[in-house]
Structure 1
Amino acid sequence: MIDSEVETTTRPTDADRVGLGRLLTFFVTALSAMFALFQGIQQILLPAQVAAIDPAGKVGSLAVLTTLAAVASMLALPIGGAVSDRTRSRFGRRAPWIAVTAVLSAVLAVLMGLTSTLPLLAVVYALLWFVANFYQGAAAAILPDRVPVRRRGLASALIGLATPIGVLVGVNIASRVSQVWGYSVVAVMVLVGTGLLLGGAREPSSVGMPRPERATRSPGAFLAAFRSRDFSLAFVSRFGFFLAYFTVSGYLYYTLQDYIGVENLPGGDVAVAVSTLTTITVLAWVLVATGLGWLADKLDRRKLFCGISSVGLCLSLLIPVLSPTWTGMLVYAVLSGAFIGTYFAVDLAVMSLVLPDKQNEGRDFGILAVATGLPQILSAALAGALITWLGGYVALYVFGAVCAIVAGAVIMGVRGVR
């Protein structure tokens, strides 16, 4: 029922104008570059930078910085979608904002790499996360804008690969170059990836498109989407899944340093150990995700795949609790990567099918993007509290496992998607 309704209101000709394969190729490239910036900074550059500035209080300091960035992220994601919904230009609705925020993100990333005090680092970090998440809010609407419903399972799987590719590239670069070079390289990648997207898969003009009704632009309208039961459940499930993963991965650097022990890591190098585990996770992620988008379309059981991946992630997060060793972390990396890959293969397709308002797809997709972006930022603050006051790193992984199983239970309550 939902598929047929959405199909009549989407604009497949927009995608056909540049070719769906070409659109997705450049879109994945741009998103991969932005995720390289996110993950290179969050997993390697920022923790190392904070530890160098404040070695005694690194856990608390990182938690404060990421909490400030969380507020910026939470505001920017839906605003980016909503503002681009209302934009009318010959370059389209999304492209102008994607271009501006890409440039600003690159400038702020370079500035962050040159910062040597915690107060200034907090300000620049919050500004960068606001601008970069504004970018993500506008870019996320490309899927419902330009991809037909019948192809969204495949498109979701391909777009989902942007995250592991970005993680793999960003973390490996950040772990092997200096602080300044790390920030600079990810900044250049964002500019190049965005330039390829905007130049290689140009968005059609939005001049003459009807604007959203005034009522849908009020501040209260941001909450209107939650009147939809399926939308609300999808948001909660997505938030829980990503909170489970990023709460743990956001503190992977300190987990290996303090929980597993530097002396138990190959070569005693924490940064290289993080990149090794991340690489293993990404490889498992990509291998699993490659075919599952097609299979989900074929079986028309996207929701089921989300539920299975949530249960699997829950079980994998318990491995470091039962085996706090380097070997245990390697097993965790493989299994968590496989189940995260399963989720990413169908996640965007499910989210695109629960959007309640066709006039405000960008706004509503931006709200759903909060359920992805906000856990990435809140993860460090939550992890800091769990590690400091609630049982250390064991509590961290148990918390993640609980979030994952809750996410799986909630997504099965969505009625409009199989």
Structure 2
Amino acid sequence: MLDAEVPTELARPAGLGRLLTFMFPAATAMYAAFNGVQQILLPAQVEALDPAAKVGNLALITALAAIASMVALPIGGAVSDRTRSPFGRRSPWIVVTTVLSAVLLVAIGSATDLAVLTIAVVALWFTANFYQGAFAAILPDRVPLARRGLASSVIGLGTPVGILLGVNVASRVSQLWGYAMLAVIFVIASAALVFGAREASSEGAIAPARRPRRQSEVVRAFFAAFRSTDFRLAFLSRASLSLAYFTVSGYLFYSMQDYIGAGNIPGGDVAVAVATLSTISVATWSVVAMCTGWLADRLDRRKLFVGISAAGLAVSMLVPILSPTWTGMVVYAFLSGAFIGAYFAVDLAVMSLVLPDKHNEGRDFGLLAVATGLPQVLSSVIAGALLTLFGSYIALFCFGAACALAAGLVIMRIRSVR
């Protein structure tokens, strides 16, 4: 890993291929765990425990878990920024949080009480997002500026492949086996990253400047990145896009069940239908992501790619409104997969280029990742309110489209990235 005083742009690209080779499966395993639980296992488990209150209970658990993720993400980045060990700054925390997350996954699979389930899910979201905070900081740590688009594309490809893996594993095995398999995959992929792309010792790295003593100064220093206009715009854009995504995807299981109707789904199996739509989406996502990051680097127009893809996602969310059928959902899955694939292929590169302090890149990257966690809290509350107020899932798709469009408009105002 780079010494704290060595600029990222001086990093030699010789080891980049090896690094990305092992970061890809780690990212895939992380998103497989998140999405297998969130889209399939948890909704089905919540419904089995209390069918009448499934929407409210899922909203509560999702909100609490998202709060835990918002706390864990920047802490994971900040703590790893200051870690000095023979194994580097990020690797020790990747190992610890992977093991804890695996144990919690198995515990959730065994839960038969709603309160126990809630506590375990919240704990899992904390440990897994602490992991993500340390993991995401590897990008600004070890990837040269000129290759950020390519790296973002490869790492971002882990999201659709992870979704594909997670929802298919979760929908085709029993509850306990679903959680257990996700745990095993997570452990194996993380171990491969730590040992396959070893991080340099951080023992000799120069520590960041002394922390301010007064509590008010500590808080201001922790959020110092928000003084940068481009950082604020990147945060707002990502938050808006994430709000669009989570408002719709978080209730996809119930949308298929109650809006499209189980009787209108081939085979009548909602879980398999969700897995099928996810497969279509991520297949398209993967194809687009494989070339978008490279092309954005080549043209040096990363911001433009992100803005156009956000606007395209907004358009795709209108399809289920115009065609509330299985065919309409298939078209939606195809289009949304293409645009979200283009977005996430370049998004990490844009985020990494607006970090204002190289000594606290893990912390600041974690703060940007909160732009994903915060919308999870808001999306569950907003989705519940929209369903209660309008009594229709159409409201979710309309809201998602508006937020995605806003994300595209905001990202175009960033000045330091083309």
Q: TM-score, normalised by structure 2?
A: 0.96
| Match of residue 168 from structure 1 | 164
CA distance in structure 2 between the partners assigned to 1:349 and 1:327 by the alignment: 34
Contact 1:66/1:381 (<8 A) preserved: no
Structure 2 residue 200 is matched with structure 1 residue 193: no
Match of 2:66 in 1: 70
RMSD of Structure 2 on Structure 1 (CA): 1.5
CA distance in 2, matches of 1:211, 1:8: 13
Separation of aligned partners in 2, 1:103 and 1:350: 31
Aligned counterparts, 1:11-410, within 5 A: 12-13=10-11, 16=14, 19-215=15-211, 218-376=218-376, 378-410=378-410
TM superposition shift of 1:214? 2.5
User: How far did residue 391 of structure 1 move?
Assistant: 4.1
What do residues 172-212 of structure 1 show as CA deviations (whole Å, max 9, x unaligned)? 00001111000000011110000000010000000111111
Identity %: 66
Residue of structure 2 in register with 1:3 after alignment: none
Instruction: For 2:85, give the aligned amino acid.
Output: S
d(CA) in 2 for partners of 1:101, 1:377 = 22
Residue segments in structure 1 that go unaligned for 5+ positions in a row: 1-6
1:377 is displaced (CA, Å) by 5.3
Deviates more, 1:138-147 or 1:389-398: 389-398
CA-CA distance at 1:376 after TM superposition: 4.1
Distance of 1:12 and 1:135 partners within structure 2:
26
Equivalent AA in structure 1 for residue 103 of structure 2: V
* Cα separation, 2, equivalents of 1:375 and 1:200: 34
Query: Residue 12 of structure 2 contacts residue 144 of structure 2 at CA under 8 Å; is this kept in 1?
Result: no
Conserved 8 A contact 1:12-1:147: no
C-alpha contact (below 8 Å) 1:73/1:373 kept by paired residues: yes
Change (3 A) 1:211 1:390: farther
**Maintained 8 Å contact 1:164/1:282:** yes
Aligned counterpart, 1:9:
7
Q: For the residues of structure 2 that align with 1:204 and 1:196, how far apart are their CA atoms? A: 16
**How many angstroms apart in 2 are the aligned matches of 1:147 and 1:13?**
7
Q: 1:146 to 1:12 in 2, by over 3 A?
A: farther
Distance 1:52 1:15 in 2: 50
Q: Within 2, Cα distance between the matches of 1:67 and 1:153? A: 32
**Offset at 1:11?**
6.0
**Pairwise CA distance, 1:386:** 1.7
Amino acid in the other structure paired with 2:8:
T
**Is this contact kept in 1: 2:103–2:183, CA < 8 A?**
yes
Give unpaired runs (5+ residues) of structure 2.
Answer: none
Q: CA deviation at 1:378?
A: 4.3
Q: Which shows bigger deviation, 243-252 or 52-61?
A: 243-252
In 2, distance between residues paired with 1:381 and 1:158?
33
CA deviations on 1:44-100 (whole Å, 9 max, x unpaired) are 000000000010000000011111111101100000000000000010000000000
- Partner letter of residue 392 of structure 2? G
Q: Is the 8 A contact 1:307 1:411 kept in 2?
A: yes
Q: Give the alignment's TM-score, normalised by structure 1.
A: 0.96
Deviation at 1:41, TM superposition (A): 0.1
What's the offset of the Cα at 1:15? Answer: 5.9
**CA offsets, 1:218-262, max 9 Å, x none?**
233222110000000001001111111121011110000000000
Q: CA deviation at 1:332?
A: 0.3
Amino acid at match of 1:386: L
Matches of 2:46 and 2:302, distance apart in 1: 40
